[in-house]
Amino acid sequence: MRKLWLIALLLLPAAAPAQQQQDFSKVEIKVTKVSGNIYMLEGQGGNIAASVGDDGIVIVDDEFAPLADKIAAALKNIGVTDKPARFVINTHFHGDHTGGNVPFATAGATVIAHDNVRKRLETGGPGGNGGSIKTQNEPQPKAALPIITFDEDVTVHLNGEDIRALHFPAGHTDGDSIIFFPKNNVVHMGDDFVRYGFPFIDVASGGSVQGMAEACEKVAAMLPADVKVIPGHGAISNLDDVRAFAKMLRETTAVIEKALKAHKTLDQMKQEKILAPWQKWNGDFVSTDAFIETVYNSLTGTKGPFIKHN
């Protein structure tokens, strides 16, 4: 169901119409304790990480606006604090991760994100993998925009922990942040690491397969072996899962690079099924052919609009 929702969201023209066509009344918020006072919330959209303590609550991503009350109730039901969310950190700008910005900000939370998240939320524009996956992101209202933005990194000191958001350029998008909870040995990868198969890389919004692989490799090198990994979508994971994901990205990229050097066209690559050895990654959302398009467009620079950060 989560996979099908993601497909619907990204193929519809905008997040707002997508919300209107979904029955959020049936969505239940599942809460899983990850480590210490860090929890993962799953509903409809991207995974939420939450630091819950006496100082209040920090959440990473916030799914969709109609789910905000359910998310807030789930956080309260954890039983640690009655205080509302004080901070929301967006891992990137897509609506299934930022749709709740308005209600959480209206309730008093401060939204934090990379500079490019604010720019893309404010301006909107086309997105997609440069091929068969096309999206249209509508400009968002002022209340949805991050109040605090950063270029490289920012740290929130709350609940006895230094919660660090670190920018990784040109991965899933050009505004990706990976969020570290060092005291509790947890990391939220955003959509630079997902568990639904071949990843959606928003090439038109500054993403690239090379940047996504590099983000996964750098994170794997930075963290202890027993770290708990929250993916953008899917079950709680470990570093072996991240390494396997990065290995797939590097191997498939190498195959398509070789085909490009042999002057093969995109259609030839699809017809020859050059990614057949990685067929297990084929998904309902991103098919093998769609991923060939993604890597091809990443390597050839077919990106569409690109917003650079200063």
Q: Encode pLDDT of 88-145 as tens digits.
A: 999 999 999 999 999 999 999 999 999 999 999 999 999 999 999 999 999 999 999 9
The parts of the chain modelled with pLDDT lower than 50 are 1-20, 304-310
Number of other residues whose CB lies within 10 A of the CB of residue 86: 18
Within a domain: 239? yes
User: Residue 305 domain-assigned?
Assistant: no
Contact call for residues 309 and 174 (beta carbons, < 8 A):
yes
- Determine which helix (DSSP H) or strand (DSSP E) holds 86, and give its type and residue range: strand 85-89
Contact between 261 and 253 under an 8 Å Cβ cutoff? The reply is no
| Domain region containing 75 | 2-300
The answer to whether residue 74 sits within a structural domain is: yes
> Rounded to an integer, what distance in angstroms lies between the CA atom of residue 254 and that of residue 73?
47
The full length of the chain comes to 310
Number of domains in the chain: 1
Domain assignment of residue 66, yes or no: yes
For residue 310, tell me if it sits in a domain.
no
CATH number at residue 207: 3.60.15.10
Within-domain flag for 71: yes
String of b and e for 27-54 (b: at least 16 CB within 10 Å)?
A: bebebeebebbbbbbbbbbbbbbbbbbe
Cα–Cα nearest to 70, from 46, 104, 95:
104
Distance CA 245, CA 233 (A): 13
Looking at residue 23, its pLDDT comes to 86
Query: Domain for residue 306, yes or no?
Result: no
Is residue 213 in some structural domain? yes
For residues 11 and 95, the answer to whether their CB atoms sit within 8 Å is no
**Single-letter amino acid, residue 309:** H
**pLDDT the model gives residue 21:** 60
